[in-house]
Amino acid sequence: LEVYKTGQAILPSGGIGATVNIKTRRPLDSADPGISGTVGAKLNMDTSVDRGDDITPELSGILNWVNPNETFGVGLFASYSKRDSGAASAQINDWIVRRAEGGIDSSYLRGDGSTVVTNMPADGELYAIPQDSRYDFADLSRERLNGQLVFQFRPSDTLSLTADYTFAQNENDELRYEQTNWFATPMDQIIFDTGQPVATAVYMQEFNGGTKDIGFEQTNRATKDTLDSFGFNAEWELSDHGKVVFDAHTSKAESGGNNPLGHLATFTGIGAPVINQHSVDYRTGYPIQAYEIDDSARGNNNGVLDVGDVATQVFRSTSTDMEHQVDEFDLRYVWENDNSNFTVGANYRGTEMTSATSNTQQDLGSWGLAFPGDIEQYAPGLLEQYCLSCQFNDVPVGQADIAFRADAVDLWRALAPLYEGFDANNDGVSDHPINVTPGSNTVEENILALYAAFGMQAELAGRPARINVGLRYEDTDVKSSTVQNIPQGILWTADNDFQVLPGSTSEDVSGEGSYDHFLPNVDFSIDLTDNLVARASYSKTIGRAAYTNLYANETANAPNRPTVLGGSLTGSSNNPNLLPLESDNFDVSLEWYYGDTNYVSVGYFRKDTQNFIGQGVVEQNLFGLRDQTGGISGSRSGDALDIISSLGVDQSEANLFTLVALIDANNGNVAAAQSEFQANLVNGVLPQGYVDSILAAYDVVADGNDPLALFAVQKPLNADDAEIDGWEIALQHFFGDTGFGVAANYTLVDGDVTLDPAGDPNANQFALVGLSDSANLTLIYENHGWSARLAYNWRDTFLNATNQGGDRSGIYTEDYDQIDLSVSYDIWDKLTVAFEGINLTGEDQRQYHRVPAQVYYAYELEPRYSLGLRYKF
């Protein structure tokens, strides 16, 4: 490996931090004549495993052969590893953020005023309410296969030719099983924590006046990533001081879905419509669910939650196949003597990224769970009851002792064709069709670079000094093209469930971008004393946008609830004309070497960035889509709101959907719809069974009386300028000849642009993501054939993302630390045994939205261990 902490003109651009150059192992440079190599084997144990193998293998080997004349050599590297694991987590789909105006939104409150609200947010104060809460457990499996074959030929002392082929394959499989509680609204009790910058609902309770469902979605997710890379290198020494170096490679990486249906992910929505009241409590920092069941009306009436109560909802799938082709050529002339060197060269890099997507959706029992018990009826034995709460060791969870799991693909195979064949009207049209939304994207990027660098060693004021200067010019052209489906509309399928319907037509969209840059660098160091070194560097670097940000497509997402009741319409688009991030980097450091292995260093860095690539949100219509939940006067949802107000019933999602569906069912006759609605009220509340029958019987499409839908469209943009600076302190010390030592470092990072957690949910905010302090402390022992490291690693809280969702919220990762151990012993000079322990204390990770009370994701991590042998020959 070659590690460059500062920008270098001779290296391709691509980032504002350090650059790591992974050099191909060359047999003539690293081996004597004959056969040599190493072989190693490990046994890995992951303590999180539930259904997989507790112990899995890892094998690797290096083989070199060099002919007796040392003019030809072959190198071979191969490795294989398999790992099974499990992962338990709790998460929230989203937090809805609003500003209080005379209290919270009326859709959360009972129409009769019975909702008990503790710590009601004050007028003008932001408040947040979770959309749902979820527990899940996943069985995970990963299998890796890597290999490299290298041929090197040195026909003379002045010419060396190298050719190599690299192969890498990584397969990941995940079976995930969820338990979800969602609130139909309005609530019966809400408790807010107003001691936060955003008042946060930390307890919610709902009595349903009937029964609703608890969700148990199943997921089968699998990916397969492969790399094929061919490289060629030639070095021709023209003289004792000068040589020409030519490098070329062509590489293709492919990534795609790999589950048994060829999907990236298959989702099978199932649930049990037997919950008559439920709650969730966030006051521990995690969602604690509780519920009460009644399966007498819509279950198997045995008084317990079991497989016979579970029904199908919706099948969904997503497929993404990506291919990335890279061709690169580099030609340089290098001149060097004892005290100076000079390099001049040219580089060309052409890339093409293609992505083909396909998303499907099929309603079975739909979100209203029209057919309780259908899984056990049509696919008996596929669904297993298990204890989900038993999978958690650290994260506190509530009522999850009874949950269900199955392979989502098995459920799909058993039930999707069956439902697709249902045709109640005998009109040749399936009652449960599979809707497919296709799309494709291509990004081409061509980069031409010219560069020159000069370095020398000399004395300055009688002290040894070194200087390295360089200049790189790069010119980049970007072309992006997209074939995107034009959706025909938004389908309102249930109280808070929607689907964007694919259309029968597609359109071609394209875009272009171009930019060029001069990228200088200067590095200077001087030995102030025999053991004190000072360094100073300046470089200008660029960081290009991710290919996915350069797509030319637009996407409309389904809303999370009716917009008139606080729901959000979100979308996304991209920008082929994005400019790269530019950074002027300044680094200074002082290093004191007070022994062969002992040192202390202190460094300061600053990065002045322009064109930082952030995320912004704009309000705009997409594809001419209309919003049937906008509630404007003259629309069906507007008429429904008027009826709800006149009757004094809850302004709930279920009531709104039922009335709009009844208006459709009565051919627009509002009075008839009101009459039927009133006739089904029981003590001012619609029975959930009646609501579910409406959900199963009707879908609502937009018409000309509905307003154009305004989406909060998230798009990448070149945001504000920013400054990042910080300090790095490092130390290593060994205690005499004992073999004991210690190494430590601390990095302090600061940025001049931060996120305001109480920022307006209707206004974009720009902030630097990923910035945080970090530290590690390592205890070392190196003696008598033993090598041991006990390392403590810590990273402070940092911002993951900005302007997420329709409310432009940030997502933060809380501070995290872990302890790792590695020990090896040389049994003799050719055989070594090694032990590793990762995350010995089983530390967990947690993410949150605007404030820590708004948990977003809590992920349990367990210790992992390995024991291995390595033999050299």
> pLDDT, tens digit, for every residue of 370-381?
899 999 999 999
Closest by CA position to 17, among listed 542, 432, 629: 542
Evaluate if pTM is beyond 0.85: yes
Residue 127 belongs to a domain: yes
Reported as a single tens digit per residue, the pLDDT across 682-717 is 988 898 789 888 988 899 999 999 999 999 999 999
Q: Are 554 and 713 within 8 A, CB to CB?
A: yes
14 pLDDT more than 80: no
- pLDDT, position 421: 83
Both tokens of residue 549?
Answer: 């940000």
Q: Are 355 and 347 within 8 A, CB to CB?
A: no
How does DSSP assign 732-750, residue by residue?
EEE-TTSSEEEEEEEEEEE
* Cα three-residue angle 359-568-189, rounded to 5 degrees: 115
Reported as a single tens digit per residue, the pLDDT across 449-490 is 999 999 999 999 999 999 999 999 999 999 999 999 999 999
Give the torsion sign (CA, 91, 93, 97, 100). negative
Reported as a single tens digit per residue, the pLDDT across 415-451 is 998 888 887 777 778 878 888 888 999 999 999 999 9
Residue 444 belongs to a domain: no
Q: In 673-808, at which residue ranges do the beta strands (DSSP E only) sit?
A: 711-718, 722-734, 740-751, 774-783, 786-795, 798-804
- pLDDT, position 17: 66
Q: What is the mean pLDDT of residues 492-499?
A: 90
- pLDDT, position 765: 84
Pairwise CA distance, residues 291 & 757, whole Å: 32
Pairwise CA distance, residues 747 & 249, whole Å: 37
Residue 463 belongs to a domain: no
Q: What is the mean pLDDT of residues 504-509?
A: 92
DSSP state of 339: S
Residue 602 belongs to a domain: no
Run of H or E residues at 644: helix 636-647
Pairwise CA distance, residues 406 & 413, whole Å: 12
Pairwise CA distance, residues 858 & 636, whole Å: 41
Which of 373, 400, 432 finishes a domain? 432
Q: What is the mean pLDDT of residues 334-360?
A: 96
Run of H or E residues at 570: strand 570-573
Which of 416, 432, 448 finishes a domain? 432
Strand partners, 818: 793
DSSP state of 673: H
18 pLDDT more than 80: no
Which of 432, 457, 492 finishes a domain? 432
Q: What is the mean pLDDT of residues 541-553?
A: 93
Residue 723 belongs to a domain: no
Q: What is the mean pLDDT of residues 734-744?
A: 97
Strand partners, 99: 126
Count the domains in the chain: 2
Closest by CA position to 564, among listed 621, 507, 517, 633: 633
Burial of 854 (0-12, 13-18, 19+ CB in 10 A): buried
Provide the percentage of residues in the chain whose pLDDT is more than 90.
84
Helix or strand or coil: residue 690? helix
* Residue 278 pLDDT level (bands cut at 50, 70, 90): very high
Pairwise CA distance, residues 694 & 270, whole Å: 19
Pairwise CA distance, residues 460 & 457, whole Å: 10
Of 209-213, 677-681, 811-815, the poorest mean pLDDT is in 209-213
Q: Are 617 and 712 within 8 A, CB to CB?
A: yes
The three state secondary structure string of 349-397 is: EEEEEEEEEEEEEEECCCCCCCCCCHHHHHCCCCCEEECCHHHCCCCCC
Closest by CA position to 228, among listed 161, 322, 325, 352: 325
Closest by CA position to 246, among listed 348, 167, 156, 352: 348
Residue 455 belongs to a domain: no
Q: What is the mean pLDDT of residues 719-725?
A: 88
Provide the percentage of residues in the chain whose pLDDT is more than 70.
100
Pairwise CA distance, residues 747 & 727, whole Å: 6
Task: For the chain, give the number of residues.
Answer: 873
* Cα three-residue angle 526-531-532, rounded to 5 degrees: 45
Reported as a single tens digit per residue, the pLDDT across 745-785 is 999 999 887 889 999 998 888 888 899 999 999 999 999 99
* Cα three-residue angle 485-486-490, rounded to 5 degrees: 115
Backbone angles phi, psi at 300, to 5 degrees: -95, 5
Pairwise CA distance, residues 65 & 71, whole Å: 11
The answer, yes or no, to whether the previous bond of 186 is cis (omega within 30 of 0) is yes
Both tokens of residue 794?
Answer: 């810590």
Reported as a single tens digit per residue, the pLDDT across 562-595 is 999 988 899 999 999 999 999 999 999 999 999 9
How does DSSP assign 438-482, residue by residue?
EEEEEEEEEEEEEEEEEEEEEEETTEEEEEEEEEEEEEEEEEEEE
Of 12-26, 88-102, 625-639, 646-660, the poorest mean pLDDT is in 12-26
Backbone angles phi, psi at 419, to 5 degrees: -70, -35
Residue 833 belongs to a domain: yes
- pLDDT, position 407: 98
Tell me the angle at which helices 653-665 and 636-647 cross, rounded to the nearest 10 degrees.
120
Pairwise CA distance, residues 409 & 317, whole Å: 10
Q: Are 270 and 217 within 8 A, CB to CB?
A: yes
Residue 235 neighbours by CB distance under 10 Å = 16
Pairwise CA distance, residues 691 & 735, whole Å: 75
Please, which residues have CB within 8 angstroms of residue 330's CB and are 6 or more apart in sequence? 245, 246, 247, 248, 345, 346, 347, 348
**How many alpha carbons fall within 13 Å on the CB side of residue 91?**
15
Residue identified by tokens 């062969």 is: 596
- pLDDT, position 719: 80
Q: What is the mean pLDDT of residues 268-272?
A: 97
Residue identified by tokens 């469930």 is: 497
b/e code 530-552 from CB counts within 10 Å (16+ = b): eeebebebbbbbbbbbebebbbb
160 pLDDT more than 80: yes
- pLDDT, position 1: 67
Both tokens of residue 704?
Answer: 């000309």
Strand partners, 564: none
- pLDDT, position 435: 86
Residue identified by tokens 């690169």 is: 328
Pairwise CA distance, residues 144 & 225, whole Å: 10
Q: What end-to-end distance do the CA atoms of the chain give, in Å?
A: 23
Residue 179 belongs to a domain: yes
Both tokens of residue 56?
Answer: 């899995």
Domain that holds residue 864: 742-761+769-873
867 pLDDT more than 80: yes
- pLDDT, position 743: 98
CA dihedral 435, 492, 215, 848 (to 10 degrees): 100
Both tokens of residue 143?
Answer: 């299998």
Q: Are 814 and 835 within 8 A, CB to CB?
A: no
Q: Is 642 left (phi over 0), alpha (psi -120 to 50) or beta?
A: alpha
Q: Which residue has the higher pLDDT, 201 or 420?
A: 201
806 pLDDT more than 80: no
Q: What is the mean pLDDT of residues 730-759?
A: 94
Q: Are 214 and 269 within 8 A, CB to CB?
A: no
Pairwise CA distance, residues 483 & 392, whole Å: 44
